[in-house]
Amino acid sequence: MQIRQYIKAVALTTVLATGATVAAAQDKEPIRFGLCFDLSKSYTFVTPQVAQAAQDLAMYTNDNGGIEGHPVEIIVRDHGNEPQRGVECYEQLKRDGVFIFNFLSTPVSNAALPRVMKDGNILMQSFVGRGDAVDGEVFEWVFPVGPTYWQQAANDVAFIKEQMGGDLASAKIGFIYLDYPFGQEPIEILKTLSEKEGFELELYPVALPGSDQSGAWSKIRRDKPDYVISWLLAGGHVVASKEMRRNRFPIDRYLTSNWLNEVDIANIGTEEAKGILRGTNVAGGQEVPIVKTMLETYYANGEGSGPESLVRDVYYNTGLAIYSVGVEAARIAIAENGWPLTPESMKTGYELLSGFDANGLMAPVTLTAEDHGGGGKTRIEQWDGEAWVPLTDWSADYLDVVWEVIEESSEKFSVE
């Protein structure tokens, strides 16, 4: 069943609301996705929502006939954000016949990537990992569908440029970031765009876990940047909000990466957070058709894969987006090449995705053999005290600049 069709059908309540049923997928070999996630240490603010979304989507897919009759199976394991444990998880599941993997961790993804490439298996790498892995001619088995951190940062600069009247020559942009690979990832792109557009770039590193930001914000107070782009996580945003108030920096000039969710807003305070900006990869909220479907079909009857509170979180939507793409790629693969599903046919399925947005869940993605990212589109949203309000359409900017950096980096990659 094509995911765009059945999501839309249920959203319009034309199938389930009439009492019609579709035979559950039971009698054919499963399509297995290996989720080696950090469920115990650094990334527990996001991994439960993503895993729950993947399990819900698998349940819904199976209840509606599976993928060409084949059930989807989600296998979840914990790697604790430790690269060696992530590699061990990969090797174990590989022995069990799994060939589609997701690690949802930059250090673990980077550690496992050479093995996945050498083995010719599929690595789902949305929103984490190497920025140059969108280069499908080099990273042919890696699918970082959606915007990389490089493209997100470039899109943020484009938004600030628009707010500054289309000219950044006299602008000053600050970048506050956790001083480890995740936070450091956008720096090269920001420096490149600073040279191109003529704005002054100020860097404000923050030591892990981001609880001490006083020095950075004191410097921000002195430097007076027009905007601050933020690559912090979870509680780091809460600390930043307090420092902004203390240093009288306007919160509506603070633009975060996609890692800012409803829990963070509640911890900042819904009123205190009013005006904060977020670059996002997926549509938030519960009015998105597939999210409404999950709430009405499963959670209203106490049958979801976890607590309903996690469904009311943008990271749940992120999980649905990642695995909606995976399910659609598998459907295309089987439709094009039949069963059995193989890494080669799954690769083909991904590379044939065109304009796929899971019925409004995410920016439309179109993949090719050359571009495994799908276009790099994000949009900017602003918290109005009650909900996130989109300020822009889905768009990707400075693609030429980003791809120049991508190709310069990817040509240095070797599996060995």
Where along the chain do its domains lie?
Answer: 3-147+284-377, 150-280+380-408
Q: What pLDDT score does 181 carry?
A: 84
Picking from 11, 51, 62, 78, the residue whose alpha carbon sits closest to that of residue 311 is: 51
- Do domains 3-147+284-377 and 150-280+380-408 share one topology? The answer is yes
Give residue 319's identity as a one-letter amino acid code. Answer: G
Q: What pLDDT score does 218 carry?
A: 98
> What are the pLDDT digits (tens) for 243-295?
999 999 999 999 999 999 999 999 999 999 999 999 999 999 899 999 999 99
pLDDT at 6 over 60: no
- CATH 1.25.40.10 describes domain 3-147+284-377: no
- Going across the sheet that includes 142-143, the strands are 72-78, 31-37, 100-102, 122-124, 142-143
Model confidence at 128, in pLDDT bands (50, 70, 90)? confident
Q: Would you call the peptide bond into 340 cis, given omega within 30 degrees of 0 as the criterion?
A: yes
Q: Which two tokens stand for residue 335?
A: 């439709």
> What are the pLDDT digits (tens) for 302-358?
999 999 999 999 999 999 999 999 999 999 999 999 999 999 999 999 999 999 999
- Determine the Cα–Cα distance for residues 118 and 115; give it in Å rounded to an integer: 5
Q: Mean pLDDT of all residues in the chain?
A: 92
Largest alpha-carbon pair distance within the chain?
66
Q: Which CATH superfamily is domain 150-280+380-408 in?
A: Response regulator (3.40.50.2300)
φ/ψ (deg, to 5) at 378: -135, 175
Strand partners, 282: 362
> What are the pLDDT digits (tens) for 53-78?
999 999 999 999 999 999 999 999 99
Q: For residues 255, 38, 351 and 411, what is the CA-based torsion angle, rounded to 10 degrees?
A: 80
CB neighbours of 13 closer than 8 A, spacing ≥ 6?
A: none
- Determine the Cα–Cα distance for residues 48 and 229; give it in Å rounded to an integer: 27
Question: How far from 77 is each of 35, 102, 161, 187, CA to CA, in Å?
Answer: 6, 11, 43, 32
pLDDT at 4 over 70: no
Q: Give mean pLDDT, residues 98-123.
A: 96
